[in-house]
C-alpha cells in the first residue's frame, strides 16, 4: 500500500485515539526501521522502549517461529511450559520469586493494585502514587497516574489513590493513614519526562514502607529490562520492592506484561482471584524467555550502561553550547533533554534527517534506543541534534 492510502484508511476506519506522525513503518532490523517509501531511519524511539533488543532480534524471531508452529495458545486451565520457564528466569534474576503474566503494562499494574488490596484485607486499600507518573490507561491505572491530561473526562475515577509530589519523602510520609496499603512509583518516570528517583528518596520510601507495613510497588515497565544499565532499576538503589511490574521490553517486541512479587505477598492471591485469558500464553512467554536470555548472553546491560553514559556526556556537552537546554538527565539508555520550548519541531527535523526520536511532556526530548545501540549511532544522533540546534539559536 502507498503511504497516502494507509493514511486514508486509518482516518476512515480506525478510532481516532492517536495523533500519528505521517510515516508508515514497514520493516525493522536492529536499530533501523524503513518506511513504505524505502527511507531508512535510525530508531531511538524503539516502540517507546519496547524494542529493547532492536527490531527482529534473531533469537526472538527464532523462538517465536518455533513456538508458533508448535502451540500458540492454550488456556491457563492447563500447565504451560514456556510460562514456568519464564517465571523461573525472572525469579533467578530478580528479588521476586513469583510471577503473574498478562498482556500489557496497564494489566500488570492492575494486578499489582488488586494484589495490594488483597493484602490490605478490605481494611487498607489506599495507594500513594506520584505526580508526573504514568501507570496505564485502564480506569484504575489512570487514577494512579499523576497527570491530569490522562484523567480528564473519565470521572468518576476509581477510589483509593492519593497523589503526592515525586521525590518528596516528607509529603509521602504525610499521606500515610490507616487505610494506606502501598506506595507505587516508577524509579525513573518515563512519560512524565525522564525524572529519576533520588537515591535517598527511594531508600527513604523503602523505610517508610517497612515501618508502616506498606507494599512498595515499582513500575519498571519502561525502565526495566536492562535499559538503565541494570537488569531492573531498583538494583541501582540497593533496595528491593515487594511488587514489580514489567511489560514493554519484556517480550523483545512481543506483547506481554508481568507482575512479580515476593512469595509472602503473592500468597494473598488464591486460585480464582485473578486471571487473564491470554496471559502467559506459550508464544508470548517463549518470546520473553529468548529476550531475557539475549539480554544476559549478549551483555546488553553493560552496553546500555556504557553507551548510555557516553550519550549523556555528549548531550551534556550540547547543553554547555545551547542555553535553551535546561537539563540532561537519565540513567543508561533512558535519557531526557529538557528544552525551554516545545520539542515537536526538533522531532520532525530529526525525522527529516533519518532519525526517530520522541518528545514527552511537550518539552523533554526522550531517547530510549535499543540496548544494542553503538557509540557511532549515538554520535550520529548528537551531531544531527547539534546541527538542528545551531539553526535554532
Binding site for ligand PLP (CB under 6 A): 104-106, 109, 134-136, 186, 190-191, 219, 221-222, 247-248
CB of 221 to ligand PLP, least distance (A): 4
Q: Is the Cβ of residue 109 or residue 358 nearer to ligand PLP in the bound state?
A: 109
Q: Which of 296, 297, 287 is nearest to 82 (CA)?
A: 287
Do 284 and 251 form a contact (C-beta atoms < 8 A)? Answer: yes
* Dihedral-angle region of residue 229 (phi above 0 means left; psi in -120 to 50 means alpha; beta otherwise): left
Q: Is the Cβ of residue 15 or residue 69 nearer to ligand PLP in the bound state?
A: 15
3-state secondary structure of 223: coil
CB of 136 to ligand PLP, least distance (A): 4
Q: Is the Cβ of residue 145 or residue 180 nearer to ligand PLP in the bound state?
A: 145
Instruction: Indicate the DSSP class of residue 97.
Output: -
Q: Is the Cβ of residue 230 or residue 248 nearer to ligand PLP in the bound state?
A: 248
Task: Compute the distance between CA of residue 295 and CA of residue 137 in angstroms, rounded to an integer.
Answer: 28
Sequence-ordered list of residues with C-beta below 8 angstroms from that of 213, at least 6 positions apart, any chain: none
Task: Compute the distance between CA of residue 25 and CA of residue 371 in angstroms, rounded to an integer.
Answer: 20
Q: At what angle do helices 300-321 and 375-392 cross, to 10 degrees?
A: 20
Do 299 and 371 form a contact (C-beta atoms < 8 A)? Answer: no
Residue 367 sits at the vertex; the CA angle it makes with 300 and 32, to the nearest 5 degrees, is 65
Range 320-326 contact pairs with CB under 8 angstroms and sequence separation of 24 or more = 321/386, 321/389, 322/389, 322/392, 322/393, 324/389, 324/392, 325/389, 326/363
Catalytic residue positions, numbered: 134, 219, 248
Q: Is the Cβ of residue 106 or residue 335 nearer to ligand PLP in the bound state?
A: 106
Strand order in the sheet with 243-246: 98-102, 257-261, 243-246, 215-219, 180-185, 126-130, 161-164
CB of 279 to ligand PLP, least distance (A): 13
Shortest-Cβ-distance residue relative to ligand PLP: 105
Rg over alpha carbons for the chain, rounded to the nearest Å, is: 21
Q: Is the Cβ of residue 107 or residue 338 nearer to ligand PLP in the bound state?
A: 107
* Dihedral-angle region of residue 232 (phi above 0 means left; psi in -120 to 50 means alpha; beta otherwise): beta
Amino acid at each position: 500500500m502507498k503511504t497516502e492510502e494507509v493514511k486514508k484508511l486509518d482516518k476512515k476506519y480506525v478510532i481516532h485515539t492517536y495523533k500519528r506522525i505521517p510515516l508508515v513503518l514497514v520493516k525493522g532490523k536492529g536499530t533501523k526501521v524503513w518506511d513504505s517509501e524505502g527511507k531508512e531511519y535510525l530508531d531511538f524511539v524503539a516502540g517507546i522502549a519496547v524494542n529493547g533488543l532492536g527490531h527482529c532480534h534473531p533469537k526472538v524471531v527464532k523462538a517465536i517461529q518455533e513456538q508458533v508452529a508448535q502451540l500458540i495458545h492454550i488456556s491457563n486451565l492447563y500447565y504451560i511450559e514456556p510460562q514456568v520457564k519464564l517465571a523461573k528466569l525472572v525469579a533467578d534474576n530478580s528479588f521476586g520469586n513469583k510471577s503473574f503474566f498478562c498482556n500489557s503494562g496497564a494489566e500488570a499494574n492492575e494486578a499489582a493494585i488488586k494484589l495490594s488490596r488483597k493484602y490490605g484485607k478490605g481494611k487498607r486499600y489506599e495507594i500513594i502514587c506520584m505526580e508526573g507518573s504514568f501507570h496505564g490507561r485502564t480506569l484504575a491505572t489512570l487514577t494512579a497516574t499523576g497527570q491530569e491530561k490522562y484523567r480528564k473526562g473519565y470521572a468518576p475515577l476509581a477510589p483509593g489513590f492519593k497523589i503526592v509530589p515525586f521525590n518528596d519523602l516528607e509529603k509521602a510520609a504525610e499521606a500515610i493513614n490507616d487505610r494506606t496499603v502501598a506506595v507505587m512509583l516508577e524509579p525513573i518516570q518515563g512519560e512524565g519526562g525522564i525524572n529519576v528517583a533520588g537515591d535517598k528518596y527511594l531508600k527513604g520510601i523503602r523505610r517508610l514502607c517497612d515501618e508502616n507495613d506498606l507494599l512498595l510497588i515499582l513500575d519498571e515497565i519502561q525502565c526495566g529490562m536492562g535499559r538503565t544499565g541494570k537488569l531492573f532499576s531498583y538494583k541501582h538503589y540497593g533496595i528491593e520492592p515487594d511488587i514489580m511490574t514489567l511489560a514493554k521490553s519484556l517480550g523483545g517486541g512481543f506483547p506481554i506484561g508481568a507482575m512479580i512479587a515476593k512469595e509472602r505477598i503473592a500468597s494473598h492471591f488464591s486460585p480464582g482471584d485473578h486471571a487473564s485469558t491470554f496471559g502467559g500464553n506459550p508464544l508470548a512467554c517463549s518470546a520473553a524467555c529468548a529476550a531475557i536470555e539475549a539480554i544476559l548472553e549478549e551483555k546488553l546491560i553493560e552496553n546500555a550502561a556504557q553507551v548510555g553514559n557516553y550519550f549523556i556526556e555528549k548531550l551534556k556537552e550540547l547543553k554547555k553550547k545551547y542555553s535553551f537546554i535546561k537539563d540532561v538527565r537519565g540513567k543508561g539508555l533512558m535519557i531526557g533533554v529538557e528544552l525551554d520550548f516545545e520539542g515537536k519541531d526538533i522531532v520532525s527535523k530529526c525525522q527529516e534527517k533519518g532519525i526517530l526520536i520522541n518528545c514527552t511532556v511537550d518539552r523533554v526530548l526522550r531517547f530510549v534506543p535499543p540496548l544494542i545501540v553503538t557509540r557511532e549511532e549515538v554520535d550520529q544522533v548528537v551531531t544531527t541534534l547539534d546541527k538542528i540546534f545551531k539553526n535554532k539559536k
